[in-house]
Amino acid sequence: MDKVTYPTGVENHGGTLRIWFNFKGKRVRESLGVPDTAKNRKIAGELRTSICFAVRTGNFDYAAQFPDSPNLKVFGVGSKEITVKELEKKWLDLKKMEISANALNRYESVARNVVPLIGAKRLVSAVTKEELLYIRKDLLTGYQSSTNGKKPAKGRSVVTVNYYMTTIAGMFQFAADHGYLDANPFDGIKPLKKAKAEPDPLTRDEFIRLIDACRHQQTKNLWSLAVYTGMRHGELVSLAWEDIDLKVGTITIRRNYTKLGEFTLPKTEASTDRVVHLIQPALSILKNQAEMTKMGKQHHIDVQLREYNRSVNHECTFVFNPQMVRRCEQVGFIYKVDSVGDSWDAALKRAGIRHRKAYQSRHTYACWSLSAGANPSFIANQMGHSSAQMVFNVYGAWMADCSAEQIAMLNQKLADFAPLMPQIPQTSSRGLLKSVS
């Protein structure tokens, strides 16, 4: 009688066939419940091969393949198994109630870039820390597309890669918190080290050249006010005359305009309803701008509150109206945030100034103010930071510029309070004590 040969991983168990394979580091056995025949042995071998491949690639759904298996309880799989794509959908859907539409848009963008690299159809329980580290490397170096025969994609910056990893780590933490994972595979993955980004403010000469290069008076006023107040660009384009008191010399920051075309509250709690005190050049700029737009049309706009699905109505006569610069049907009553940055880039190019991002207008305000000796706490309040620590961290180098002025001020104000010090005795060359005058 010929000896029966079984494919690898296939065996006879009480007259029926069963297979064994490795799952999550353990060897498991599953009964197929079919008679031990030559044909069934061949089919069982093919099934076992396909299961091993699915396990290695992270696409094996244990509950779907063996719904009645007692091993489901051992591994904690079954109804809680979920694919990466299903997790993304569930996580983003619940995030809508916690974050702004602008933040949600950023999260969706991160998911579009990272989820395909992990594998949308893979089970989240199959994703390993090692794989995530390689994905991080691919994001940084840009070689993730080379395996498809395409030209390698351009690598992302360290800041972008860290943001991607932190965002998706939050998604996997959601899975761990709700029983889809025993532990978050992102645990222990530290952010990549990055060089400290130094502010790159305009010099006074560059500022003058920038303003001269702006072709319309309103554009000159916009960038002058940006530099003299440090306002964020979304706050600047949504600024209304109803927010300004020219007699007292203040601006109250009440709203922000996002890239999605929505009015929201300012970026942080510290930014909301903050009062910006205007220096004389900023007041002059607003008085000049008032001649162009203060008597313009008042708009009723809905401003999204931080509470989910709630908004408040603001009456706004916008300070900067793009229709003053370009009159056509396609131009709306408020600048798009991206178009403001485009006007900065164009003015820099015409002026022959080294390129900087438009956000440097905000850094320019902070650096100029600190160099002039302004109090960091005052600057933090003006810019909408929660504390002066942010100012110290980012702009510390500019505080040293005013050290001489600070010493002169202290000498002037504290000299009258300083106690008189006794003269110091000094021994002469003859061993006698004499006073040093």
Report the catalytic residues. Answer: 232, 267, 362, 385, 395
Using CB atoms within 10 Å of the CB of residue 309, give its burial: 0 to 12 exposed, 13 to 18 middle, 19+ buried. exposed
Q: Are 172 and 127 in contact (CB under 8 A)?
A: yes
> Under DSSP, is residue 435 helix (H, G, I), strand (E, B) or coil?
strand
Largest CA distance in the chain: 125
- Nearest to residue 343, comparing CAs of 165, 216, 431, 203? 216
Q: Which token pair is 106?
A: 């950023």
Three-state SS at 431 = coil
Three-state SS sequence of 14-72: CCEEEEEEEECCEEEEEEEEEECCHHHHHHHHHHHHHHHHHHHHCCCCHHHHCCCCCHH
Encode 149-178: b = buried (16+ Cβ within 10 Å), e = exposed: eeeeeebbeeeebbebbebbbebbbbbbee
Q: Are 287 and 225 in contact (CB under 8 A)?
A: no
Q: What is the rounded distance in angstroms from the CA atom of residue 428 to the CA atom of residue 426?
A: 6
From the centroid of its chain, how far is CA 159? 9
Residue (of 358, 354, 239) closest to 289 by Cα position? 239
365-367-373 Cα angle (round to 5): 105
d(CA 210, CA 107): 35
DSSP type of residue 201: P
Q: Mind spelling out the 3-state secondary structure of 26-38?
A: EEEEEEEEEECCH
